[in-house]
Amino acid sequence: VQLVESGGGLVQAGGSLRLSCVTSRTTFRFVAMGWYRQAPGKQRELVAGIGSDGSTRYADSVKGRFTISRDNAKREVNLQMNSLKPEDTAVYYCNWGGFYSDTGYGSGDYWGQGTQVTVSS
């Protein structure tokens, strides 16, 4: 499964960025997707997950600021990040086909290459 991410960059605190992840897999519409991030010296952590039905889950740290969405026609999952903080600085990874439930999203086996998000204070 190939996942191609885009949209990272450098932004000032309070700013916004939109990340995108595109796949060529035709089964995209049937699988849950997620976004994770990993800051230097820290473990990779879940940011948000979206089910095949479009329902969503978020880490507490990003609730109200980030929005995950999907476009099945484009085979694309997006992460709109608003009110960014320096602590959001990390490499962000798209994840394919995780386990999605009422309690959250558990990662699947396939990852994008990662895109750097840097938020300056």
Query: With contact defined as beta carbons under 8 Å apart, do 38 and 45 qualify?
Result: yes
Query: With contact defined as beta carbons under 8 Å apart, do 119 and 85 qualify?
Result: yes
Query: With contact defined as beta carbons under 8 Å apart, do 2 and 60 qualify?
Result: no
What pLDDT, on the 0 to 100 scale, is given for residue 104? Answer: 86
State the DSSP H helix or E strand holding residue 115, giving kind and residue range, or none if neither. strand 115-120
Residue 79, phi then psi, degrees to nearest 5: -135, 110
- At residue 28, the 3 state secondary structure works out as helix
What is the distance between the alpha carbons of residues 39 and 50, in angstroms, rounded to a whole number? 22
What pLDDT, on the 0 to 100 scale, is given for residue 1? Answer: 86
Q: Which residue(s) pair with 63 in the sheet?
A: none
What pLDDT, on the 0 to 100 scale, is given for residue 84? Answer: 98
Q: 10-residue block means of pLDDT along the chain (121 residues)?
A: 94 98 94 96 96 95 98 97 98 94 88 97 94
Instruction: Return all residues near 65 (Cβ < 8 A) that are at least 6 apart.
Output: 81, 82, 83, 84
